[in-house]
Amino acid sequence: MKFRALAADKWIVTPAKPATTRCRDHAMASLDRLPPFSLILNRLLATMAKDDVSFANLAELIEKDTVLAGNVLRLVNSALYSFQGTVNSVRHAVAILGLNKLRNVALSMSIARMWTQVRMPPGWSAARFNMHSVATGVLADLLSQQVDVPYPEGGFVAGLLHDIGKLLIAVSLPNEYAAIVELLRQGERTVTECELEVTGMSHAELSGAVLARWNLPGPIQKAAMFHHAPEEAFGGELHLSHLVRAADQLANDLGHSVLPRSGNPLVSSEHLEALGVGEQLPAMLQHFEAEFVELKRYF
């Protein structure tokens, strides 16, 4: 309970906020204390909700950010695309990469650059967080090309931003984050169980709330919110959240986890087989490694 003065000699009792509400409110309020999005990043995110984005418009956006444009050109001229000759214009890069691929690359580079400006608590690695986010985005994008789900073009961004709730908990609730990490080290509970015990909310729930605040398309919001429990979204029908769950687990298994994991990476195909892509795993991993090796140079 909290007591509030009503007059000099009178007091009234007001109930304290439940821990869940307090933690959620504090975490969401911290969004306003994060480095502001650049104008370019804001516009890139806004294009996710539009169906009529043109090659010229996207190229014009990227050209306004010198660092971003330079990185995009370095990527398109890398061994990953093996283009004959040198690409020296963003508009040419759009033609080679395609609209969705270029937007995905530009978003991941812009967001990762922004996170490097955030002061993190002890034990949090911005590098590991960025690597896990990008790895999950790439894998979710590859899965969206194999599995028939609604709004497949949102796979990369859903994977890239699925763990934004983890970052908010670490930034806004450092003591609670330390308690969550300690519970995880005991090895008896999942990260979601530890988060619920300490804060009363999960990072997935928080991720969904953040993406709603940013006005990203509904399927991307739901994919982030339900990436640990996709059966609870859309009546259990196949959805982006199933792809993000599989991509998230696979990224962890490949050693790209937010927190260091003990032992040698061991790929589990449980979620992939449930999606019907178990046989495609070797080819998908080969494609992933080629793309990820090039992308991680920029984070």
Condensed to tens digits (0 to 9), the pLDDT of residues 268-283 reads: 678 888 899 988 889 9
Residue ranges in the chain modelled with pLDDT below 70: 1-19, 36, 51, 83, 262-268
Q: What is the pLDDT of residue 274?
A: 86
- E-state strands within the chain: 2-7, 10-14
Integer Cα distance of 289 and 296 in angstroms: 10
Q: What is the CATH number of domain 120-299?
A: 1.10.3210.10
Instruction: Give the pLDDT of residue 18.
Output: 57
Sorted by sequence, the CB contacts under 8 Å of residue 10 that are 6+ apart come out as none
14 phi/psi in degrees, rounded to 5: -120, 135
CATH 1.10.3210.10 in the chain is located at: 120-299
User: What is the bridge-based pairing of β-strands 2-7 and 10-14?
Assistant: antiparallel
Q: Please report the pLDDT score of residue 9 as a whole number.
A: 44
Amino acid at 17: K
CB 147 within 8 A of CB 276: yes
CB count within 10 Å of CB 150 equals: 13
Token digits for 6? 């009503």
DSSP lists the bridge partners of residue 10 as 7
Residue 266 has a pLDDT of: 61
Sign of CA pseudo-dihedral 110, 116, 119, 125: positive
- For the chain, helix, strand, coil in percent to 5 are 65, 5, 30
Q: Letter for the amino acid at 282?
A: P
Whole-number pLDDT of residue 7: 45
For residues 43 and 231, give the distance between their C-alpha atoms in angstroms, rounded to a whole number.
Answer: 32
pLDDT score recorded for residue 121: 85
Give the phi and the psi of residue 110 in degrees, each rounded to 5.
-70, -45
